[in-house]
Amino acid sequence: MAEVISIHLAAEIAAPVFAVESVEAVAGAGLRGDRKFQPGAPPEKHLTLIESEELEQLAAEHGIELAPGESRRQLTTRGVRLNPLVGKRFKVGDVECRGIELCEPCAHLQSLTYPGIMRALVHKAGLNAEIISGGEISVGDEIAVLDD
């Protein structure tokens, strides 16, 4: 089953992340309580996701162990490939989303984590998504692709 295995937020840019069991996803704004939350925010700023499988591969291939929250992505998933969701609609629990673009690693992520992480996570650092219809997202919520 494709699911959310962790949720991490940060109060401000570069602030430490903290784990939550659930969060309110607001259409057109993002996750309430997160650093990126802003009514009218561009769609690619609403929600970020990363595959736990990519974090495991990062450790196996590059020796870089990155905990889910350290990735600076809000949702960590298991059992779903995120890259193919660019341009597709999907649901996280009852929240409808649309994949906008790959969430490529940046110098900011590298400055907060480990040297070499930018190169190691190219095309593997997750997905930026738009929140189309809001609701509650919780750890354990199923992720279902709506567009085939």
pLDDT digits (tens, 9 = 90+) for 46-86: 999 999 999 999 889 888 888 888 888 899 999 999 999 99
CATH number of 15's domain: 2.40.33.20
Q: Please say whether the beta carbons of 141 and 96 come within 8 A.
A: no
Q: Which of 55, 74, 69 is nearest to 117 (CA)?
A: 55
**C-alpha span between 86 and 102 (Å, rounded):** 7
**C-alpha span between 57 and 121 (Å, rounded):** 10
Residues of the chain with pLDDT under 50: none
Looking at residue 122, its pLDDT comes to: 75
Q: Please say whether the beta carbons of 99 and 87 come within 8 A.
A: yes
Looking at residue 114, its pLDDT comes to: 67
Amino acid identity, position 44: E
Q: Report the number of distinct structural domains present in the chain.
A: 1
**Domain extent for 32:** 3-145
